[in-house]
């Protein structure tokens, strides 16, 4: 259940999205901002830092709304910095991950293991490499799906 504060911020985000051009809206990463706001709100009862980040982002989005369609590159840079700070806190303190995290970790591991096993066991890198990539993709995708199912994806 969303609080009134979250609803107000989401409405402000939608208003900004409607007032700026598509390129600026894409650079502001408003969908990600929306997800971060919801996560900060869900943890704000038990985490004081989340409450501070939420309040900071709430005032930041009001400032962006006041600037309306005159958002500059510095505003975008400042906005991205705030998103990164908040998402870093959520990932470190609350063990959330980004979408595709395990996929991006296990695919290179599988590739390297495929090369090693391809050379050592099969004596043919052409066989080991696709097996390793396939294994890494399968494990990474399964872990990503499991994290999403558990609600650990930011």
139: which residues sit within 8 A by CB, 6+ positions away? 102, 106, 110
pLDDT in tens, 1-41: 468 889 999 999 998 888 888 888 889 898 999 999 999 99
What does the alpha-carbon distance between residue 49 and residue 54 come to, in Å, rounded to a whole number? 8
Domain boundaries, the chain: 4-94, 101-150
**Strand, coil or helix: 96:** coil
CB distance 32 to 81 below 8 Å: no
Question: Mean pLDDT across the stretch 89-118?
Answer: 94
Q: Model's pTM, two decimal places? A: 0.83
What does the alpha-carbon distance between residue 124 and residue 149 come to, in Å, rounded to a whole number? 38
Residue 34's beta-bridge partner residues?
Answer: none
pLDDT in tens, 107-144: 999 999 999 999 999 888 999 999 999 999 999 999 99
What does the alpha-carbon distance between residue 97 and residue 151 come to, in Å, rounded to a whole number? 10
């Amino acid at each position: 259940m969303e609080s009134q504060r979250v609803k107000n911020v989401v409405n402000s985000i939608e208003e900004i999205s409607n007032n700026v051009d598509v390129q600026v809206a894409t650079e502001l990463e408003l969908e990600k901002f929306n997800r971060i706001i919801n996560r900060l709100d869900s943890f704000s009862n038990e985490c004081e830092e989340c409450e501070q980040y939420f309040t900071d982002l709430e005032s930041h989005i009001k400032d962006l709304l006041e600037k309306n369609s005159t958002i500059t590159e510095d505003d975008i840079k400042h906005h991205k910095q705030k998103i990164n700070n908040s998402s870093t806190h959520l990932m470190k303190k609350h063990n959330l991950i980004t979408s595709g995290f395990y996929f991006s970790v296990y695919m290179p591991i599988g590739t390297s293991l495929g090369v090693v096993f391809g050379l050592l066991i099969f004596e043919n890198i052409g066989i080991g490499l696709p097996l390793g990539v396939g294994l890494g993709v399968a494990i990474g995708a399964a872990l990503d799906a499991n994290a999403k199912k558990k609600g650990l994806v930011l």
